[in-house]
Amino acid sequence: MDNRGLEKLDQWLLKYGNDDSILSASELDGYFAAIVSAPRQVAPAVWYSAIWADQPPQWPSDKDGERFMKLAVELMSEATYMLSEEPDDYEAIFLADDNGKGEKLIVSEWCAGYLRGAAVAGWLEEALPDSASAALKLITLHGDESGTETLKAMSDAEYDASTALIEPAAVELYEYWQQNLQPVLPVRREEAKVGRNDPCTCGSGKKYKQCCMK
């Protein structure tokens, strides 16, 4: 996705979001990285609603809503492709802050989005083997308030070394869950049986045995 698309996502997320929703393309990228890493598929209606903290916007027009969804799906598709097909070249959308000493990566929004996505996908609290658990702990360090003091105590070199491991951590978690995919359970519908002599459910007025049962 080009910078123009990312800027448009930023604008929409800020304009139509709320205090609890995703508010940047960086955060959305992290969110999708966790969603596509899930051991089970997450329905679009679920991940879309969670972007807005279950308060989806009232778009000015259907066209605006469709354009947002198109860009969002494009961003998610790119994450899927890179994590699955080009893991060695996977690049997260981090922010950069020129603090006067040179460019420094800001990864907190991406990591916060990742943790949100893992929660929505239902695997944030799952037991993980040591390597995958360490990968999630690294992302949690940068994406959760609980890691604030640890991060403050880091030197610039330690911080840079830590952030350099985040993308490999995302790849590690993706590959773990791809090796441990869970089947999608079929939806079971409890439907009352129609008797042979009952009125047909199609509304014809005929008995079931004389109509749709044939």
pLDDT value for 187: 41
Structure tokens at 71: 């860009």
Whether 173 maps to a domain, the answer reads yes
Question: Contact, 95 vs 109, CB < 8 A?
Answer: yes
Question: Which residues, listed in sequence order, are joined to residue 98 by a DSSP beta bridge?
Answer: 103
pLDDT value for 169: 98
Whether 127 maps to a domain, the answer reads yes
Q: Tens of pLDDT along the chain (214 residues)?
A: 889 999 999 999 999 999 999 999 999 999 999 999 999 999 999 999 999 999 999 999 999 999 999 999 999 999 999 999 999 999 999 988 765 454 678 999 999 999 999 999 999 999 999 999 999 999 999 999 999 999 999 999 999 999 999 999 999 999 999 999 876 544 444 444 556 666 655 455 555 556 555 5
Whether 195 maps to a domain, the answer reads no
Query: Which ranges constitute the DSSP H helices of the chain?
Result: 3-16, 25-35, 44-51, 62-85, 108-121, 130-143, 148-152, 156-163, 166-178
- Domain ranges, residue 42: 3-179
Whether 150 maps to a domain, the answer reads yes
Would the CA dihedral through 61, 42, 55, 7 be positive or negative? Answer: negative
Residue 193's contacts (CB-CB under 8 Å, 6 or more residues apart) are: none
Residue 10 backbone zone (phi > 0: left; psi -120 to 50: alpha; other: beta): alpha
Whether 212 maps to a domain, the answer reads no
* SS3 state at 190: coil
User: pTM, whole model, 2 decimals?
Assistant: 0.83
Residue 165: CB atoms within 10 Å: 15
* Structural domain count of the chain: 1
pLDDT value for 51: 97
Question: Contact, 72 vs 9, CB < 8 A?
Answer: yes
Question: Contact, 75 vs 25, CB < 8 A?
Answer: yes
**What span, in angstroms and rounded, lies between the C-alpha atoms of 17 and 105?**
24
Whether 189 maps to a domain, the answer reads no
pLDDT value for 188: 43
User: What's the CATH code of the domain at 12?
Assistant: 1.20.120.740
Whether 33 maps to a domain, the answer reads yes
pLDDT value for 54: 95
Q: Which one, of 96, 165, 179, 159, lies nearest residue 136 by Cα?
A: 165
